[in-house]
Amino acid sequence: MSTPPPQYKIPRSVLVVIHTPGLKVLMMERAAWPGFWQSVTGSLDREDEPPREAAIREVLEETGIDAARHDLVDWGVENDFEIFAKHRHRYAPGVTHNCEHVFSLRVTEGTAVTLAPDEHSGFRWMAQAEAAAITISWTNRDAILALGEPKVRSQPK
């Protein structure tokens, strides 16, 4: 009996910055990487998965928030970045970069958050500048700092 080929992550992902109208930003600490704070991120599950579908799925999986019931905005921005060396084993041999599609999600103050404990160990709502300063991901930092700028375009639900 032959061994099935390994399942590698697709090097295309979404970043979803969740925030309130007053620009309090939800930041979560990675369970497997204490001290690494970030917004919602996640790889597409299949090559033909639309980024919006992936964003809705990832937000629900990681936070328990139904993004389809809030103001999910597709920025029309994609960032290419180098995958952290410690995570490259999850991708096919030779894959070193990822293409990330950026979204924001505006929720009301007091929106309940239920973390996926295998992914995140804690969360905090932070002021925009504080949230940008705590993440080591340049794409996450830049998206947080761009919240509220006119280039953000609403998309139909």
Q: 98-126 pLDDT, tens per residue?
A: 999 999 999 999 999 999 999 999 999 99
Q: Are residues 109 and 22 in contact, defined by beta-carbon separation less than 8 angstroms?
A: yes
Higher pLDDT, 124 or 156: 124
Residue 5 included in any domain:
no
In this predicted structure, the answer to whether residue 6 has a pLDDT above a threshold of 70 is no
Residue 76 included in any domain:
yes
Residue 18 included in any domain:
yes
Is the dihedral angle over the CA atoms 126, 128, 129, 134 positive or is it negative? Answer: positive
Residue 151 included in any domain:
no
Number of compact structural domains in the chain: 1
Residue 25 included in any domain:
yes
Mind listing the pLDDT tens digit for each residue in 139-154? 999 999 999 876 544 4
How far does the chain reach from its first CA to its final CA, in angstroms? 47
User: For position 135, which CATH number holds?
Assistant: 3.90.79.10
Q: Are residues 66 and 107 in contact, defined by beta-carbon separation less than 8 angstroms?
A: no
Q: Residue 150 is encoded by which pair of tokens?
A: 């006119």
In this predicted structure, the answer to whether residue 4 has a pLDDT above a threshold of 60 is no
Q: How far apart are CA 77 and CA 57, in angstroms?
A: 19
Domain containing 45 equals 12-146
Residue 68 included in any domain:
yes
Residue 44 included in any domain:
yes
Residue 134 included in any domain:
yes
Q: Residue 81 is encoded by which pair of tokens?
A: 């970045």
